[in-house]
Chains A and B, each alone.
Chain A
Amino acid sequence: MRNFLLYFAGFLVLLVIQEFVLGSVNLFSLLYLYSYVMIIIMLPLHTKTIPSLLWATLVGAVMDIFTGTSALITISIVFMAMFRRGVVKLTIPSDIVSAGGVPFSYKIGVGVFFRYVVTMCILFAIVYFSLEMMSLHNIEYTLLRIGVSSAATTLLIFILQLPLRERKDKSKLY
């Protein structure tokens, strides 16, 4: 329960950042920073798919309400959450995964962290921008938006998680 509250508090912080700071960032309509995906990305490595999906639904629904995107964020973040375990297996070495815990960069290594986060961000961005554009015209532009936004969000998440540290009692993380 405590962990749930911690994550929920973290989500509220991200919501405020997204709504009041990142929401106004716009670089030639190419850059969209979606910091709220950090909640799903930073879930403990042993988190199963169903809790991930429920978290994603909560985050997506709240973000959709605040940003007026009518389920677009929910669709994208739930999609990302569905494939999280697969991405973890693919991008993070098995010994780190079996150790469990929250995937901070200081724990899993910066390189592995970037590989994991950028894959997750791309999964989110593919669904988000594809549904937003809903067209194969200007596919290059859509791909550029996916690339730029995923790279920038990965960097943002890296920066945001730098001051955070895992609590010692790992068993209570989730």
Chain B
Amino acid sequence: MVRLLLFLKRIAPLLLFVAIELVALSIFFSHNAYQRAKMVAVSNYFTGGIHGYLSSAKNYFSLKEQNELLLIENAKMRAEIERVSSILGDSLNVEMEIPLQSNFVDCKVVRVVNNTYSRRNNYITISGGTRQGVVPEMALFNSAGIVGYVKYCSEDYSVAISMLNHQDFRTSGKVKGEGNPGSINWDGLDYRRVTMDEIPAHTNIAVGDTIVTTEFSNIFPPNIPIGIVESVDNTTSVLIKAEITTLADMTKLNYLYAVSLKGQNQRTELENRVNN
């Protein structure tokens, strides 16, 4: 308390000076139109600049929110494109009795909250569960390519099988524009590469080709990129094996699209009946 009083005593002249000057300046500017106009112009210049900086900073900090909104918008547009292309496809292929299962039922945007890629069997945890409409068997991919599929869901979170899961991840892939599929899986060694095997020997496949998902998958929509062919092993005469560099960077997953396919449940049920 004593120190505070001593401090106030020390700065008393400064406080008095500031007080007098403030009163005098307010009188001065209120009685002089020219100086007031000049002052307003100067203060507007500075406050305008400060507002500009504040606005930029605010925009910067709201980028995450804007990014999420854009992703949601993007997801809606993807679903809409699928729906429209499905309708157009049906109208163009009038001879086709059963429409292709290429359109999504639903498309959600989810955020990755945990992701492993250094184990032999890796998982991705996403924020979004049954309450948000995320259900098991939904395909997960980002703008680069597929990353996995949803396995278990709680109300607000889900756990997905990563493409880097040696034990549980299998899907079919094909060379973009070609018809012969192969089986995509991970050998558990390099997180940047997956393997595509069981490719028929007559398939035209070369280093640099893009591998995409096929229509045979009950989880992934067709033609979603998987990776680029890095090497081809055609030493065996019947089936070819290829090393694929994944397009999605499995170490930097942030936001993903979660989609479920039309008729997925019916198909799974039927296939399970045959298998059992």
A interface with B by C-beta (< 8 Å) = 48-50, 53, 57, 60, 70-72, 74-75, 78-79, 82, 131, 134-135
A-B contact pairs, 7 of them (CB 8 A): A53-B20, A70-B31, A74-B20, A78-B24, A79-B21, A82-B17, A134-B38
Asked whether, in the complex, the Cβ of B21 is within 8 Å of the Cβ of A75, the reply is yes
Q: Which residues of B, 30-78, contact A by the 8 Å Cβ criterion?
A: 31-32, 34-35, 38-39
A167 to B34, CA, bound (A): 47
Residues A53 and B24 in contact in the complex (CB < 8 Å), given A71-B31, A134-B35? no
Name A85's closest neighbour in chain B (CB-CB). Answer: B13
CA of A135 to CA of B38 in the docked complex: distance in angstroms?
8
CB-CB under 8 A for A75 and B39, given A49-B13, A82-B17: no
Partner of A72 from the list B23, B28, B39 (CB cut-off 8 Å) is: B28
Per a CB cutoff under 8 Å, which of B17, B31, B35 touches A78? Answer: B17
Number of interface residues of B (CB under 8 A): 17
Judge whether A53 and B31 touch: CB under 8 Å.
no
Query: A72–B16 Cα gap in the complex (Å)?
Result: 18
Contact A50 B16 (CB under 8 A): yes
The residue of chain B having its C-beta at the shortest distance from the C-beta of A74 within the complex is B24
Of all chain A residues, the one with the shortest Cβ separation from B37 is: A134
Q: Known contacts A70-B32, A131-B35, A134-B35; is A82 also within 8 Å of B24 by CB? A: no
Please name all residues of chain A whose beta carbon is closer than 8 Å to the beta carbon of B21 when the two chains form the complex: 75, 78-79
Report which residue of A71, A75, A79, A135 has the largest number of chain B beta carbons within 10 angstroms of its beta carbon: A71
A70/B27 in contact, CB under 8 A: yes
Q: Which label, helix, strand, loop or mixed, suits the secondary structure of the A interface?
A: helix
Task: Give CA–CA (A75, B39) in the complex, Å.
Answer: 16
For residue A75, which residues in chain B have a CB less than 8 angstroms away from its CB?
21, 24-25, 28
- B17, B21, B24 — which one has the most chain A CB atoms within 10 A of its CB? B24
| Contacting residues, chain A, for B16 (C-beta < 8 A) | 50, 53
The reply to whether B25 and A71 contact each other, CB–CB distance below 8 Å, is yes
Q: B28 to A131, Cβ gap below 8 A?
A: yes
Q: Which residue of B lies closest to A76 (CB)?
A: B24
Residues B27 and A50 in contact, CB atoms below 8 Å apart: no
Contact between chains at B20 and A78 (CB < 8 Å): yes
Taken together as a complex, chains A and B put the C-alpha atoms of A57 and B24 apart, in Å, by: 9
Determine the chain B residues whose CB is within 8 A of the CB of A53 once the complex forms: 13, 16-17, 20
Max chain A Cβ within 10 angstroms of own Cβ: one of B25, B28, B39: B28
Give A118 Cβ to nearest chain B Cβ, in Å.
22
Cα distance A60–B28 in the bound complex, in angstroms: 12
The reply on B206 being an interface residue by CB < 8 A is no
Q: B207 at interface (Cβ–Cβ under 8 A)?
A: no
Q: Are A57 and B20 in contact (CB under 8 A)?
A: yes
CB distance from A128 to the nearest CB of B (A): 11
Q: Please tell me if B87 contacts chain A, counting CB pairs below 8 Å.
A: no
